[in-house]
Amino acid sequence: MAKKIVIVGGGAGGLELATKLGNKYKNNASVDILLLDKYPFHIWKPLYHEVATGSLDVDMDGVDFRAHGANHHFEFQLGELKALNREDKAITLEAIHSQTGEQIVPERSIAYDYLVVAIGSITNNFGTPGVKEHCLTLDTTGEAEKFHQKILNEFLKIKVAKDNHPLKIAIVGAGATGVELAAELFKVTDLLKVYGFNNVNRHSIEVSIIEASDRILGGLPERISDSATKILTQLGVQLKTSTKVQEVLEQGVLIDTGETLEADITVWCAGVKGADVLKNLGGLTTNRINQIEVNSYLQASEDESIFALGDCASCKQENGQFVPPRAQSAHQMASTVNQNIQRLISGKPLVKFEYKDKGSLVSFADYSSVGFLSSMTNKKVFVEGSIARHLYVSLYRLHQAALHGYFKMMLLAVVGRINRRLRPLLKLH
């Protein structure tokens, strides 16, 4: 009987893993690879803020799981994880319903020999009142598109009413997503004038970033934080650091000083956690933010047939620090899990996962980019401006190369340049 490898989650790590295993076992009938995801397509998560502002079109730029699976010799099924039965080595998937509520596919069970959990993370609201009711998030492409439609409607109101009242947007959280989104919003105001929004300009928007710590991009070196602060301030972003949100209201944000900051739209980008379904999934040990605790081989602590990778895995390094929830982490973990599953199948000893921080880059739309690269001696090399921007784009190209190979990646890069000439600079619907 064929060994069945089931991968839950088609994010950066999960899709790269399915692709590598599919290519490896394409001529081996004794191994089946199944990828599961609750959405039918893939968008690289670091670009969700571009989906939110319309710089990226999901329909044009997404990777269709079924088509990709056909090209790389793995099966794809639509499904959302509900439960895990480790004794029977099976997972349960939620029923699938249409938009009208009609049940299309009933709840079902999927058997596995090796299971990989790679469902990423969701926003952590830390129990803050009003977040669920009044905030938008960028956890999924659907939520990013909802944000995009919301801002388009708000700018349409400004255009029709010829109103000078600015659209006020509050972004809670000054990590990479929050600061990149802020810059992209100003890019929108610059581009909308081309499409008939003549009375829309940078004064048509007020963007505030609210951050609990004493600086933005707190997880990155202070030099990058200082450069980012300068760029955002020049754009017109109001930075409110050392400020905690007490409650999110329908028309604003109540902060710890007792002041209410007015906002037409509030976006929550503060912190991440694993999905609620992961909490003690099948008796697996999880931490306080629902991440599955894994050993140095990326196997679940209680079950060697189960792996976890990416944002939903809690992996402690030899230096005592935990692997950060970044795209490069998911990419590196996918490579190790790929090796270890192949080694389990062939009866070879497993390899330990070793995280290597290759640096971080933050893009501020077309205005600037900053970041650092780690050298061979672990020395941080700081970059900014056009060099950093090209490096930032190259990260996405490397992700495409991992999925499609270098030749097709180069073709996609060429097609992307052509499309920028042919398509609108913003998605306008």
HSE toward the beta carbon, residue 225, CA cutoff 13 A:
15
pLDDT recorded at residue 372: 87
Rounded Cα distance between 202 and 196, Å, is 15
Got the DSSP string for 301-320?
TTEEEEEE-GGGEE-B-TTS
Query: In the block, which residue shows the tokens 């995009």?
Result: 148
pLDDT recorded at residue 377: 57
Domains in the chain (CATH in brackets) are 3-121+274-346 (3.50.50.60), 131-271 (3.50.50.60), 359-422 (no CATH)
Rounded Cα distance between 35 and 148, Å, is 29
Mean pLDDT, rounded, of the chain: 92
Strands 63-64 and 41-42: antiparallel
Flag whether pLDDT at 376 surpasses 60: no
Flag whether pLDDT at 375 surpasses 70: no
- Per-residue pLDDT tens for 22-51? 999 999 999 999 999 999 999 999 899 999
Identify the CA nearest to 205 among candidates 225, 191, 226. Answer: 191
Cβ partners under 8 Å of residue 46, min gap 6: 176, 327, 395, 396
- Per-residue pLDDT tens for 114-159? 999 999 999 999 999 999 999 999 999 989 999 999 999 998 888 8
Flag whether pLDDT at 416 surpasses 80: yes
Structure tokens at 383: 């970059």
Task: Name which residue leads in pLDDT, 381 or 260.
Answer: 260
36 neighbors 81 (Cβ within 8 angstroms): yes
- Per-residue pLDDT tens for 345-355? 999 999 999 99
Task: Name which residue leads in pLDDT, 388 or 335.
Answer: 335
21 neighbors 104 (Cβ within 8 angstroms): no
pLDDT recorded at residue 22: 97
The percent of residues in the chain predicted with pLDDT above 70, rounded, is 99
Structure tokens at 336: 């190790």
- Per-residue pLDDT tens for 234-246? 999 999 999 999 9
Rounded Cα distance between 174 and 224, Å, is 13
The percent of residues in the chain predicted with pLDDT above 90, rounded, is 72
CB atoms within 10 A of CB 58: 18
